[in-house]
Amino acid sequence: MPEIGIGFHTDAFNSSHKSFEQALVWAQENDVHYIEPGVIEGACWIHGLGYFPHISLLEDPVLLRRKMEGYGVEFSQIDAAYPLSGLDGMSVGVPYVQKAISWASLAGCPRVATTDGLHKPEGLTDREALDLMKRSYGEIIRVAEAHEVTVTIEVHGYFTTRAESLGEMLDFCGDSPWLRLNLDTGNTFIAGNDPVEFAGRFLDKIHHVHIKDVSESLAAAVRGGATGIAISHVAAGDGVNADNIRVILRQLADRGFDGVLSIECEGQGGPMLADSLAWLRREIAHVGFTERVPLLASPAALV
């Protein structure tokens, strides 16, 4: 049976103002071994005081990796998704992502997430924006290949929620193994796509998955008029996207997917995330997945 990892994005603890280490504690208490934080370049007071569940590129990556090993947790991905489709994509987004890649390689993190902007970029035609992103990804993948870190393109914005333009983006660097897809089940749905059909088109490129459900009220209000959800306020399995996620899990199992399913939801300090985790564990068993536990998480590895 295919083995996959289960993890969560630390966005789940944004509203409860918990620290990254408190997210690690929650992961250990709930037998979760993969985690996906956002990264900032620099420092800020909210991070320093422990009210921010993400990490800074100023933190030492090796020391942080060792701390995580003590909790039996490793990175599935770090989120460096500064929009690359705008005029500042080259000047701001590219160096930010490149620094995240070199940091990730030292932290033992296999992936770095990227994306486009939510809206049509101001001052650029679609063609100009796509050409600009192609140059940006060329520079990014040059660094990713050197560090052997996979860059994922997340379905989140104006271009990435359109199958044709996403397909072009995934081919920016030919068939480079270092440029792959982070499928987001919720963003795909809220943009008005059929998530099952959308996922099926890109199965060979999917390297990491955001498991995100959508509430009935949000779907009724904005589906087809938005491209991304900042954070889902419904547990996975409790929304109108649950059946689509089930079918996508079957597609992934049939394809032999062996990456990580990263839950994205408003965790309410933990309870909603716990409900999502319980649902997802039941669903992966139904499609024949087994949950992977990294070697570092075994008792022998922690002695």
Give the model confidence (pLDDT) of 91-106 as tens digits: 999 999 999 999 999 9
Query: According to the model, what pLDDT value does residue 268 have?
Result: 84
- Number of neighbours of residue 130 by Cβ within 10 angstroms: 18
- Number of neighbours of residue 302 by Cβ within 10 angstroms: 11
Query: According to the model, what pLDDT value does residue 301 have?
Result: 44
According to DSSP, residue 293 is labeled: -
Specify the CATH number of the domain 3-293.
3.20.20.150
- Paired residues of 111 in beta bridges: 150
Q: How far apart are CA 228 and CA 35, in angstroms?
A: 21
Q: How far apart are CA 235 and CA 237, in angstroms?
A: 6
Query: According to the model, what pLDDT value does residue 111 have?
Result: 98
C-alpha 171 chain-centroid distance: 20
Cβ distance 3 to 283 under 8 Å?
no
Cβ distance 124 to 132 under 8 Å?
yes
Query: According to the model, what pLDDT value does residue 299 have?
Result: 44
Q: How far apart are CA 212 and CA 66, in angstroms?
A: 29
Look at residue 80 and tell me whether its pLDDT is greater than 70.
yes
pLDDT digits (tens, 9 = 90+) for 139-182: 999 999 999 999 999 999 999 999 999 999 999 999 999 999 99
Residue 58, SS3?
A: coil
Reported in sequence order, the residue ranges of the chain that DSSP labels E, i.e. its strands, are 3-9, 34-36, 39-40, 55-56, 74-75, 78-83, 111-115, 150-154, 179-184, 206-211, 260-263, 290-291
**Percent of the chain scored above 90 by pLDDT?**
93
pLDDT digits (tens, 9 = 90+) for 248-302: 999 999 999 999 999 999 978 899 999 999 999 999 999 999 999 987 654 444 4
Cβ distance 15 to 29 under 8 Å?
no
The pLDDT mean for the chain works out to 95
Is-above-0.85 flag for pTM? yes
